[in-house]
Amino acid sequence: MTSYQLLEFYEQLFSKLYNLEKSIRDIKLLIDKITPYENELLQLIYTHGVNSINNDIKNSMNKSRNNIVNYVNEFMKKFDLLENHKIFTSTEIEINNYISDNSELFRTEIESIENLFNHLSSVYENLLKYSISKNNSNLVLLIENMKSVHNAYVNILDSYRAINDYIEKTEAKIDEIKGYKTLELQFYNEADSIYDYINYLAPMNECYEKICNLFNVSPTQYPLKVIKVESGSWFQKLFGAEKVMEALAYLITKVVDYVYYTFTKEGQIASQKQLFDLLLTDAQLISKYKDLGFDIDIDEEEVKKTHFMAIKSVQKMICKTSKLKVNGDIFSIDKAFEQQYLLESRKLIIENKLSINNELEENNFLNSKN
């Protein structure tokens, strides 16, 4: 799991914890109120039945206990136990499902979340027990559970802040240079070999240079640069000519969206010709080019050739991933078809390579006869 994936996980986690945050804040406010009196409550329990304690100390202990009891009773009047437990249960189910969908998570993250839910569950349980018994032991347990809830939540929050700080510190700092733009791609399937590095970066550079030529932008003057890559599931952040990067991002999203949609609906990989025909008849693509300041004749032979080569480059990139994020937008194959897609897409790439090799051999043979 890359640092960017982990950051995304925490962002999604906190959005799912949103419904519990009020309860957690209310618990923290209660803890802050009762903390000054907690030690004397414990002393009162541990010295129960000891006659040697003078009345002034006992009175102080009882006063502290009464203060805590009043604060807890005030909390319980405002805290709808049944409604909050219902919210807790539904949130726990949702987050457990989310965790199961993120199998690459580190054990530390999973344990932190489990701790939060275990302690919250104990708070609800001990609130109920205390409301019935009103005894000191249940009161102390309730306080300990509430403190544990706060600590567990802070641990999760600290982990989120740490990964966010790490990304900010380790990522190469790119000044806002006029005429340049970044592009982020996250390939969610596992990738950690040198071949994966080549398979993801080389097609991007091919595609970038093709679009540079289409827009009369010099790839030498505005080379595609790597800001950051992370393996595990592959993440790459790239930097290049602004308008080329915008067109490239748009082209990738169009191809990926169509490939994934077609496979999910029809169970087959969209051919390069299908993608080619789709793009050249896409009014939005032509409009996008115009918005970027390029009035391109989509029927010109060189324009067609450029798009065909760009499509091939994008296909190379996505043949090993069933889920892709492009600048924050996520595209994915339906889970039921993931393995089939990965198998079929790789077969298609091999077939395309064989077709190209056969064509080259045939051309070489014909040339040798002349």
**Per-residue pLDDT, 210:** 87
Q: How many CB atoms lie within 10 A of CB 168?
A: 9
Is residue 49's pLDDT more than 50? no
Q: Letter for the amino acid at 343?
A: L
Residue 341: pLDDT band (50, 70, 90) is confident
Q: Letter for the amino acid at 183?
A: L
**Per-residue pLDDT, 362:** 39
**Per-residue pLDDT, 64:** 80
What value does the mean pLDDT of the chain take? 80
Q: Does 99 or 268 have the greater pLDDT score?
A: 99
Q: Which tokens is 298 given? A: 């989509």
What distance in Å separates the CA atoms of residue 103 and residue 84, rounded to the nearest whole number? 29
Angle between helical axes of 242-266 and 194-214 (0-180°, round to 10): 120
Start and end residues for every CATH 1.20.120 domain found in the chain:
3-170
User: Could you read off the pLDDT of 171-207 as tens digits, one per residue?
Assistant: 555 555 677 888 988 888 776 666 667 777 888 888 8
Tell me if 178 sits within 8 A of 241, measured CB to CB: no
Alpha-carbon distances of 66 from 47, 135, 219, rounded to whole Å: 17, 12, 75
What distance in Å separates the CA atoms of residue 146 and residue 124, rounded to the nearest whole number? 10
Rg (CA), the chain: 30
User: Could you read off the pLDDT of 257-305 as tens digits, one per residue?
Assistant: 888 888 877 777 777 788 888 777 777 887 888 888 887 777 788 888 8
**Per-residue pLDDT, 263:** 82
Is residue 66's pLDDT more than 90? no
- Please state the rounded mean pLDDT for residues 52-63: 67
- In Å, the largest CA–CA distance within the chain is 117
Find out if CATH 1.20.120 is the number for domain 3-170.
Answer: yes
- Please state the rounded mean pLDDT for residues 50-66: 67
Q: Does 3 or 13 have the greater pLDDT score?
A: 13
What distance in Å separates the CA atoms of residue 124 and residue 107, rounded to the nearest whole number? 26
Is residue 363's pLDDT more than 80? no
Closest C-alpha among 10, 33, 26 to residue 123: 26
User: Could you read off the pLDDT of 1-12 as tens digits, one per residue?
Assistant: 667 778 888 888
Residue 58: pLDDT band (50, 70, 90) is low
**Per-residue pLDDT, 57:** 63
- Please state the rounded mean pLDDT for residues 64-77: 88
- Please state the rounded mean pLDDT for residues 300-324: 82
Report the percent of the chain where pLDDT is more than 70: 82
